[in-house]
Amino acid sequence: MTTETTVWGIHGGRTGDADSLFLNQNCVALGWHEMGDLSGLAADREVFKAKARAAYPAWNEPRIINSASQLFRFLHEMKVGDLVCYPSKADRQIHIGEVTGDYRYDESTSASYPHRRSVKRLRSLARTAFKQGALYEIGSALSFFQLKNFADEFRGAIQRQTTDTSLSTEDETVGVVAEDIEETTRDFVLKALARELKGHPFSEFIAHLLGTMGYRTRVSPEGPDGGIDIIAHKDELGFEPPIIKVQVKSTEGSIGDPIVSQLYGKVSGGEYGLLVTLGAFTSQARVFARSKHNLRLIDGSELVDLILQHYEEFDSRYKGLLPLKRVYVPEFLEEVEE
């Protein structure tokens, strides 16, 4: 093994139901059994995609490409002598082996995982023996993938003389992983809103969010709204100040000064203007808003902050649209130089 040895990661399904193959039969395996024996296919990604389309006619194109790509790499990019790492759900260890055989199709012991490569087990280590960044990388959502960022750590684990955990010393990757998890969540929220709530439905969502913040709202009917999508207020009848005139933009681009100025032109004395967008605001728009005490801009990033803050008060419809669960991630304070 050299520092150039390719390192792969592979999973055993969501329930770890391929454990027996990986741990007891000296092989790694993939599913997609409806594809049949792939040994006769040309080493061409387009051919693999065509095979996947025929096997799964109901799948969309991104899923077809994803699946075909993983199988293509398993057959034609993984080489004898490469390393493969399998994180087992059963024993919470990471098992590292060396690929010893070419692709074969075998349904004899598990019809669900017929695409196989023989491996020689080299070492098994507890998950705590690896840095958090390495664990995050091997936790890929894919079934089969190449390990790149922390490949050296997995290579080095084979020669490691002890099983002392990497976390017994400072692990500089923990903070990075925590940031990645948060960023992934924020991206998910914005993408879901942009995909599912274009136009008027986005106004209804923002009204619901304002409701969780203690405001009563009136949403303008679908169609021309004169630039005001929502009226928000604290009292039941909407007579008492402050009255907030809200405009929402479900676009993901930048909102400029003209749109912000137009909203402010509809705000009378004693009223407030609020503009909410999934995207961002230009610097000119922000400068204009800062000069007005009764004008507020909320971009996509701040919107996600508010969503996460008030998520528990959302109704079932919007929780279904944004299925999230509370998790705890390590928090590390940055050192401040004196």
Q: What is the pLDDT of residue 89?
A: 78
- Rounded to 10°, the helix 200-212/173-196 angle is 130
Per-residue pLDDT, averaged over 111-137, amounts to 87
| Length of the chain in terms of residues written | 338
pLDDT interval class at 331 (50, 70, 90): low
Peptide bond into 258 cis (omega under 30): no
pLDDT interval class at 164 (50, 70, 90): low
Per-residue pLDDT, averaged over 308-328, amounts to 89
Q: If you count DSSP H runs as helices and E runs as strands, how many of each does the chain have, helices first?
A: 11, 14
Q: Which residue has the higher pLDDT, 318 or 160?
A: 318
Q: Is the pLDDT of residue 172 over 60?
A: no
What's the Cα-to-Cα distance from 134 to each of 5, 122, 316, rounded to whole Å?
A: 17, 18, 36
Per-residue pLDDT, averaged over 6-15, amounts to 81
Q: Is the pLDDT of residue 119 over 90?
A: yes
Q: What is the rounded CA–CA span in Å between residue 274 and residue 248?
A: 8
Q: Is the pLDDT of residue 176 over 80?
A: no
Q: What is the rounded CA–CA span in Å between residue 135 and residue 120?
A: 22
Q: Which residue has the higher pLDDT, 67 or 225?
A: 67
Question: What pairs with residue 7 in β-bridges?
Answer: 83, 147
Look over the chain and give the mean of its residue pLDDT values, rounded to a whole number: 85
Q: Which domains occur in the chain, in start order?
A: 7-170 (3.10.590), 190-321 (3.40.1350.10)
Per-residue pLDDT, averaged over 28-42, amounts to 92
Q: What is the rounded CA–CA span in Å between residue 17 and residue 119?
A: 18
Q: Is the pLDDT of residue 309 over 50?
A: yes
pLDDT interval class at 209 (50, 70, 90): very high
Per-residue pLDDT, averaged over 215-230, amounts to 83
Of 145, 154, 158, 137, the closest CA to residue 77 belongs to 145
Q: Is the dihedral of CA 279, 283, 285, 289 positive or negative?
A: positive
Query: Against a cut of 0.85, is the pTM above it?
Result: no
Lowest mean pLDDT among 8-12, 163-167, 313-317: 163-167
Query: What are the b/e assignments for 129-152, b being 16+ CB within 10 Å?
Result: bbbbbbbbbbeeeebbbbbeebbe
Q: What is the rounded CA–CA span in Å between residue 320 and residue 168?
A: 40
Q: What is the pLDDT of residue 338?
A: 41
Q: What is the pLDDT of residue 135?
A: 85
Beta-strand pair 83-87/27-30: unpaired
With beta carbons less than 8 A apart as the criterion, state whether 231 and 248 touch: no
pLDDT interval class at 336 (50, 70, 90): very low
Q: Is the pLDDT of residue 165 over 80?
A: no
pLDDT interval class at 167 (50, 70, 90): very low
- Over residues 56-107, the pLDDT tens digits come to 999 999 999 999 999 999 999 999 999 999 988 777 788 999 999 999 999 8
Lowest mean pLDDT among 103-112, 131-140, 181-190, 322-331: 322-331
- Over residues 271-288, the pLDDT tens digits come to 999 999 999 999 999 999
Of 260, 219, 218, 259, the closest CA to residue 239 belongs to 218
